């Protein structure tokens, strides 16, 4: 009875192994692209960044491992950034807050990148006790 069980278990293991071996990530794809695929930029929040990332993926497609990571982790290209328009505070629910936001926008309008602009806005919008 024990022998039959172990024979059944061995048969099950040998038939199940090829299925699980093919299901493992990277088992059949050695030497192929490192699983980075171009994205569809039509629905992307920042289309220029998405397109730049797709170009990087295409440029790094033939590299593997550390070489691929080094290739992909280049600094992001600066994209053109225009400061948001001032809000119309006449129709705002909270006019004081709207005016504060417009003042911050005026102070940060010379920032050239989105990151710089966000940092500037955060600094400008802090209350005097937080500064």
Q: Tens digit of pLDDT for each residue in 69-84?
A: 888 776 655 566 788 8
Half-sphere exposure of 5 (CA within 13 A, CB side): 2
DSSP per residue, 9-58? HHHHHHHHHHHHHHHSTTSS-TTS--S-----GGG-SSHHHHHHHHHHHH
Q: Tens digit of pLDDT for each residue in 85-129?
A: 898 999 999 999 999 999 999 999 888 888 889 999 999 998 665
Confirm if 38 and 57 have CB atoms less than 8 A apart: yes
* C-alpha pair distances (Å), 120 with each of 12, 18, 20, 38, 58: 63, 57, 52, 33, 34
> pTM for the whole thing?
0.41
């Amino acid at each position: 009875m024990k022998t039959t069980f172990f024979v059944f278990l061995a048969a099950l293991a040998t038939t199940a192994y090829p299925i699980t071996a093919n299901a493992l990530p990277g088992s059949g794809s050695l030497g192929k692209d490192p699983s980075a695929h171009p994205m569809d930029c039509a629905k992307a929040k920042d289309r220029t960044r998405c397109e730049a990332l797709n170009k990087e993926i295409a440029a790094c497609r033939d590299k593997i491992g550390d070489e691929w990571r080094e290739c992909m982790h280049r600094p992001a290209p600066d994209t053109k950034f225009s400061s948001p328009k001032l809000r119309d505070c006449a129709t705002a629910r909270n006019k004081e807050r709207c005016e504060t936001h417009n003042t911050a926008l005026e102070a940060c309008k010379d920032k050239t990148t989105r990151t710089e602009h966000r940092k500037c806005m955060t600094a400008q919008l802090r209350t005097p006790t937080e500064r």
